[in-house]
Amino acid sequence: TPALRLTAWGDPPSLVDAEVPEPTGTEVLIRVEAAGICHSDLHVLDAAPGALPYRPPFTLGHEIAGHVAAGDFAAEGLAVGDRVAVYGPWGCGACRRCAAGEDNYCDRRAELPWSGAGLGRDGGMARYVLVPHARHLVPIGDLDAAQAAPLTDAGLTPYHAVAGLKLADDAAVVVIGVGGLGHVAIQILRATTRARVFAVDVREAALALADRSGAHRTLLTRTDTATVLRRETGGADAVLDFVGSDPTLSLAAGVLRPGGALAIVGSGGGKLTVTKPGPLPPGASVSLPFWGSGRELREVIALARAGSVRVETEQFPLGAAVEAFARLRAGQVSGRAVLLP
């Protein structure tokens, strides 16, 4: 059965013929219907050996939806054939955070050689995936799998980041980077807050996507972007940075109002100096949100089922994974690329 695996650090991903895994203990076997390609997958493929705690080989794919095929799932009220989204940030399963369904902030994160499905553990860019416990499965009803898969990260991560902001009705929020996560972030802001949403990207096509996603104002990155944003927002109450590079972090710090909040979501490797005084305004807070909780995933799925959030997708068969990765790397994907194994 086909699986797209990272076999060794520095190697391109390879499509191999793997055994269908057999569930043991609490595990549940899922027949994958869709697996999203995240920019984090590119960061993993580009990582220097030793930079990440994962130990290849493992199957890629951390945005997964499919249906229950076999295993231990009755306690969660599931049956064979039930369609589910997979909560991806699997933790140790034993600490207080994991018990609360907040595996994303598992107490043992630093010791685990994985961050979740497809990130050090076998993931969903395959026909089958083993999920360690049925508590990671969220029913999706008749929601399209190509929607549900990206919602588990490109939906859940912005949802968690937005939930961490306290936004007044007249708040101004700047979204930097309107790709897979950013375009869903704009929709979540529009669906769950009354904030004015300003979107920034380096690509015209991304601004068109921001516009379709409900942004009030879109701006192409230029030398005067910070000045224009400061003037038009009066100082941003919050900035969601879905890039996290040196230029975007400095733009973010430069547009925040005193007391504003910066959520750094992108793993672009940029640096921001935190000193008093420094580039951040007085009272600013900085957060590094990682993925989200199981409860938040259920809320995102509910928003999508209600029609408030729709991921824009480009779909590919698993056999075209290499081309799909290349499109993402070239900045040619609009929204999310999704593999259909």
Given the rule CB under 6 A, which residues bind ligand NAD? 38-40, 43, 153, 157, 176-182, 200-203, 206, 221, 242-245, 247-248, 265-268, 289-291, 328, 331
Counting Cβ atoms within 10 Å, is residue 234 exposed (0-12), middle (13-18) or buried (19+)? exposed
- Angle at the Cα of 150 (from 146 to 152), degrees rounded to 5? 125
Q: What one-letter code names the amino acid at 117?
A: A
The interface partner of residue 89, options being ligand NAD, Zn ion, none and the CB cut-off 5 to 8 Å by kind, is none
Query: CB of residue 328 vs Zn ion: minimum separation in angstroms?
Result: 12
CB of residue 203 to ligand NAD, shortest distance in Å: 4
Q: Inter-axis angle of helices 156-163 and 180-192, to 10 degrees? A: 50
Positions that interact with Zn ion (CB under 5 A): 38, 40, 91-92, 95, 98, 106, 153
Task: Please identify, using beta-carbon distances, which residue of 23 and 118 lies nearer to ligand NAD.
Answer: 118
- Partner whose footprint covers residue 281, from ligand NAD, Zn ion, none (CB < 5 to 8 Å by kind): none
Q: How far is CA 173 from CA 18, 197, 257, 259, in A?
A: 45, 5, 11, 13
For 39, 54, 71, 154, 331, the CA distances from 178, given in Å and listed in that order, are: 12, 28, 38, 11, 11
Whether the CB-CB separation of 46 and 269 falls below 8 Å is answered with no
- Report the nearest approach of ligand NAD to the CB of residue 183 (Å): 8
Question: Nearest residue to ligand NAD, using CB?
Answer: 179
* Closest C-alpha to 149, from 298, 306, 35, 37: 35
CB nearer to ligand NAD: pick between 180 and 260 = 180
- Binding partner selected for residue 268 from Zn ion, ligand NAD, none, CB under the kind-specific 5 to 8 Å limit: ligand NAD
- Shortest distance (Å) from residue 92 CB to Zn ion: 3
Q: Please give the Cα distance from 328 to 38 (Å, whole number).
A: 9
Q: Which is nearer to ligand NAD, 42 or 70 (CB)?
A: 42
Instruction: Give the shortest CB-309-to-ligand NAD separation in angstroms.
Output: 15
State the binding partner of 261 from Zn ion, ligand NAD, none, CB within 5 to 8 A by kind. none
> Between residues 63 and 237, which has the closer beta carbon with respect to ligand NAD?
63
DSSP 143-166: --HHHHHHIIIIIHHHHHHHHTS-
Residue with tokens 């049956």: 79
Burial class (CB in 10 A: 0-12, 13-18, 19+), 70: middle
Report what 242 binds from ligand NAD, Zn ion, none; CB cut-off 5-8 Å by kind.
ligand NAD
- Start-to-end CA span in the chain (Å): 10
Q: Is the Cβ of residue 35 or residue 178 nearer to ligand NAD in the bound state?
A: 178
Partner that binds at residue 240, options ligand NAD, Zn ion, none, CB closer than 5 to 8 Å by kind: none
Q: How far is the CB of 225 from Zn ion (least distance, A)?
A: 26
Shortest Cβ 36–ligand NAD spacing (Å): 8
- What is the C-alpha separation between 42 and 259, in angstroms, rounded? 34
Nearer CB in complex with Zn ion: 260/266: 266
Residue (317 or 331) nearer to ligand NAD, CB: 331
Name the binder of 106 from Zn ion, ligand NAD, none, CB < 5-8 A by kind.
Answer: Zn ion
The per-residue DSSP string of 238-279 comes to EEEESS--HHHHHHHHHHEEEEEEEEE-----------SSSS
CA-nearest of 101, 129, 104 to 114 is: 104
Q: Which of 153/201 has CB closer to Zn ion?
A: 153
39 binds, among Zn ion, ligand NAD, none (CB under 5 to 8 A by kind): ligand NAD
Task: Dig out the tokens for 20 from the structure.
Answer: 């269908």
